C-alpha cells in the first residue's frame, strides 16, 4: 500500500486529543475555552449513532453543565434505583432525587448520541478547535518540546485508499491526550502497565424505544438479582429503556446475541416488535482494569483509554468526565508557564486514587448482582432483607471520594484539614444582579470564598498573581441586599453552612470543584493563597504504591 504526503504540512496545536467521544470532546472544550488551540482526531467519519452509556451522577452533571450544555435538553432525573431478588422482594432502594451536593440530581438518565451532539455543537461554537474525522493516529514521535502524530485516512473499519493511495498528515502538539477508548493507540505508545481485577462478565445489552410513551415504568430503574438470570431494566434517556441480561453458564455469545433471544427475554415486560423498536442489541464483556500511569512525557490518557469500569454503578462516563476536568486546568497552567510541569503528575495521583475507589465499589456491587449460585444468592437475599427490615439502608454517596495526595493545602500543623480534598457543594447564589447555581452565575476556576473581606491581608504582588491565574476573591454572605462586586449571596445557606460545619471562615476551591484547602480565620487567608502559589511551583512527587 502506498501512502501520500497530500496535506503533509505540519498543523500545530497546543493540545491534540485523539478520540472524539464524550470524554475527548469535553476535554477539547475545556482546554479551548481557556484560550488554547486544540486538534481532535477521530478515526470514525461519523459519530456513533446508537446509545452506550445511559446514566451520569451529580458531579458529572455539574461538569457537563459547566461546559455550557442545556441539561434539561439532554437528560432527565433518574429518580430511583431499586434492587429485587428473583421472587420480586425488594432488597435495596436508592433515592436519586437529592440535589443538595452539586446542584444536580444524584443520578440522571440520558441518551449518549444526544449528549455527544450537544458537545459537538459546543465544539463548533469555539474557534480554537479543529476536528479531523476519518483520520486515525498511526505513529507518534516525541521530542523535548512537542509530539508529532502521524494520522492516516480511514473508513473507521479499515484504511481508506484513494486511487491506491492512503493520505497521511502530520500534526504537532505540545501535549497529546489519548481519549481513544479501551484499545487505545496512544496507550500502546506508552510504557505503562495495566492492573486488571479479573472481573469479567458477558451481558446482552438491549436499547429499546417503547411505542407507548405514557406507559408507567415502576420502578423506573430496576436491578433483578436473580441467579437464574441477573437482569437490569433502567431508563435509557428520554423515551428510551435499557435492558441488560447476564450470559449464563453454558450459553454462547452467539446464542445470547440473536434478535430472537432479545425479544424472548423482553416477553415478561410485554414488549414485542409490535409495540417497541429494538434500537440496538449487542453483547458486552464488562471489565475492571486501569492503566497504572496516565502520563508519560507529553502523552496523557483519559476515559476508557485509562480505565474500563463495570457498569453496575454508572461510573464509567462519570470517571472519564472527571478525568477531563481534572486534566484540562492543569494543562492550562503548565502551558501558560504558571505551574511546573510536575503538576501533570498530580493528574495520575489524584484521578487514579479516585478511580480505584469507584472501581472497587462497582466491582463490589457487581459481585452481589452477578451471583449465579442459588444457595449463595439465597444467603445474600436473607442478609439484605434483614438489613432492609432493620432500616440499615446505605447512606450517602458511595462514589464521593476525597483526594489524599496531589495539589492540596497542608495547614500549619502539617495536616490536611477537612474539607481539603473534598468535592465542594454547589448552591444557588445571587451575584452582580444574576441568580442561579454558582457555576452558571459566578463562573468556574480557582475561587476563594470567605466570610470577610477577601482582599484583606493580601499584598499587591499576591493580588496581581491571583489575577494572573484567575483566582477570584469573593465574600460569601446571607445579606440579601449585598451587591458589591465581590459579594456572593448564599440564597439557601449552602456555603455558610459548610464553612460553619468545618469550622472555617474561608475555603479555596480548585477549577475541578475540589477544595484545595481552608482557613479557620480570615487572618489565615494570605497563608492559604500563598500555599496554592507555592505548590503550583513545587508539586510533590506521588507517594510510591505498595
- What residues does 536 pair with on adjacent strands? none
- Residue (of 145, 161, 168) closest to 6 by Cα position: 168
**HSE of 506 in the Cβ direction (CA atoms, 13 Å)?**
25
**CATH homologous superfamily for 428-537?**
Glutaredoxin (3.40.30.10)
Place of cell 474557534: 127
User: Within 10 Å of residue 478's Cβ, how many Cβ atoms?
Assistant: 14
Spell out the per-residue pLDDT of the chain, length 546, in tens: 444 444 434 589 999 999 999 999 999 999 999 999 999 999 999 999 888 999 999 999 999 999 999 999 999 998 889 999 999 999 988 888 778 899 999 999 999 999 999 999 999 999 999 999 999 999 999 999 999 999 999 998 888 988 888 999 999 999 999 999 999 999 999 999 999 999 988 999 999 999 999 999 999 999 999 999 999 999 998 899 999 999 998 999 999 999 999 999 999 999 999 999 999 999 999 899 999 999 999 999 999 999 999 888 789 999 999 999 999 999 999 999 999 999 999 999 999 988 999 999 899 889 999 999 999 999 999 999 998 888 776 655 666 778 889 999 987 777 787 899 999 999 999 999 999 999 999 999 999 999 999 999 999 999 999 999 999 999 999 999 999 999 999 999 999 999 999 999 999 999 999 999 999 999 999 999 999 999 998 765 444 333
What does the DSSP assignment read for 185-226? HHHHTS---EEE----EEEEEEEEEES-TT---SSSSEEEE-
- Span 77-104+201-286+371-398: which CATH code? 3.30.9
With a threshold of 0.85, does the pTM exceed it? Answer: yes
Domain ranges of the chain: 2-54+111-195+290-357, 77-104+201-286+371-398, 428-537
Do the domains spanning 77-104+201-286+371-398 and 428-537 agree at the CATH topology level? no
Q: Which fold has domain 2-54+111-195+290-357?
A: FAD/NAD(P)-binding domain (3.50.50)
DSSP 154: B
Amino acid at each position: 500500500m502506498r501512502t501520500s504526503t497530500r496535506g503533509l504540512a505540519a498543523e500545530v496545536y497546543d493540545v491534540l486529543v485523539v478520540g472524539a467521544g464524550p470524554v475527548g470532546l469535553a476535554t477539547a472544550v475545556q482546554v479551548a475555552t481557556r484560550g488554547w488551540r486544540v486538534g481532535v482526531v477521530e478515526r470514525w467519519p461519523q459519530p456513533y449513532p446508537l446509545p452506550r452509556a445511559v446514566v451520569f451522577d451529580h458531579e458529572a452533571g455539574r461538569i457537563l453543565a459547566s461546559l455550557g450544555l442545556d441539561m434539561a435538553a439532554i437528560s432527565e432525573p433518574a429518580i430511583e434505583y431499586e434492587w429485587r431478588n428473583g421472587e420480586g422482594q425488594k432488597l435495596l432502594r436508592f433515592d436519586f432525587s437529592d440535589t443538595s451536593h452539586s446542584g444536580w440530581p444524584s443520578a440522571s438518565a440520558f441518551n449518549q448520541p444526544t449528549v455527544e451532539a450537544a458537545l459537538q455543537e459546543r465544539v463548533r461554537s469555539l474557534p480554537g478547535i479543529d476536528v479531523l474525522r476519518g483520520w486515525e493516529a498511526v505513529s507518534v514521535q516525541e521530542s523535548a518540546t512537542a509530539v508529532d502524530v502521524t494520522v492516516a485516512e480511514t473508513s473507521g473499519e479499515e484504511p481508506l485508499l484513494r486511487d491506491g493511495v492512503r493520505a497521511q498528515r502530520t500534526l504537532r502538539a505540545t501535549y497529546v491526550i489519548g481519549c481513544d477508548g479501551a484499545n487505545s493507540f496512544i496507550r500502546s505508545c506508552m510504557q505503562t502497565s495495566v492492573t486488571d481485577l479479573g472481573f469479567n462478565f458477558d451481558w446482552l445489552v438491549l436499547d429499546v424505544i417503547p411505542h407507548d410513551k405514557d406507559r408507567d415504568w415502576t420502578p423506573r430503574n430496576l436491578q433483578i438479582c436473580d441467579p437464574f438470570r441477573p437482569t437490569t431494566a433502567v431508563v435509557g434517556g428520554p423515551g428510551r429503556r435499557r435492558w441488560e441480561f447476564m450470559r449464563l453458564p453454558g450459553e454462547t455469545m452467539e446464542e445470547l446475541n440473536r434478535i430472537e433471544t432479545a425479544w424472548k427475554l423482553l416477553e415478561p415486560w410485554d414488549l414485542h416488535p409490535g409495540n417497541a423498536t429494538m434500537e440496538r442489541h449487542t453483547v458486552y464483556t464488562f471489565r475492571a482494569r486501569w492503566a497504572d500511569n496516565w502520563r508519560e512525557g507529553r502523552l496523557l490518557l483519559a476515559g476508557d483509554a485509562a480505565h474500563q469500569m463495570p457498569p453496575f454503578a454508572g461510573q464509567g462516563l462519570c470517571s472519564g468526565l472527571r478525568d477531563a476536568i481534572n486534566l484540562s486546568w492543569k494543562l492550562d497552567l503548565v502551558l501558560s508557564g504558571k505551574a511546573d510541569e510536575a503538576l501533570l503528575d498530580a493528574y495520575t495521583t489524584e484521578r487514579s486514587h479516585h478511580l480505584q475507589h469507584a472501581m472497587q465499589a462497582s466491582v463490589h456491587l457487581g459481585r452481589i448482582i452477578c451471583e449465579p449460585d442459588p444457595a449463595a444468592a439465597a444467603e445474600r437475599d436473607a442478609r439484605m432483607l434483614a438489613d432492609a427490615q432493620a432500616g440499615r439502608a446505605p447512606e450517602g454517596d458511595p462514589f464521593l471520594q476525597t483526594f489524599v495526595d496531589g495539589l492540596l493545602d497542608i495547614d500549619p500543623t502539617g495536616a490536611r484539614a477537612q474539607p481539603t480534598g473534598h468535592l465542594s457543594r454547589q448552591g444557588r447564589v445571587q451575584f452582580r444582579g444574576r441568580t442561579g447555581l454558582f457555576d452558571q452565575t459566578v463562573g468556574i476556576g480557582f475561587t476563594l470564598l470567605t466570610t470577610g473581606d477577601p482582599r484583606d491581608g493580601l499584598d499587591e504582588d499576591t493580588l496581581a498573581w491571583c489575577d494572573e491565574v484567575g483566582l477570584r476573591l469573593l465574600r460569601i454572605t446571607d445579606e440579601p441586599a449585598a451587591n458589591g462586586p465581590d459579594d456572593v449571596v448564599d440564597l439557601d445557606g449552602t456555603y455558610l453552612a459548610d464553612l460553619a460545619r468545618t469550622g472555617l471562615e474561608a475555603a479555596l476551591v480548585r477549577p475541578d470543584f475540589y477544595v484545595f484547602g481552608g482557613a479557620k480565620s480570615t487572618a489565615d487567608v494570605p497563608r492559604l493563597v500563598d500555599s496554592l502559589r507555592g505548590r503550583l511551583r513545587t508539586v510533590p512527587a506521588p507517594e510510591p504504591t505498595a
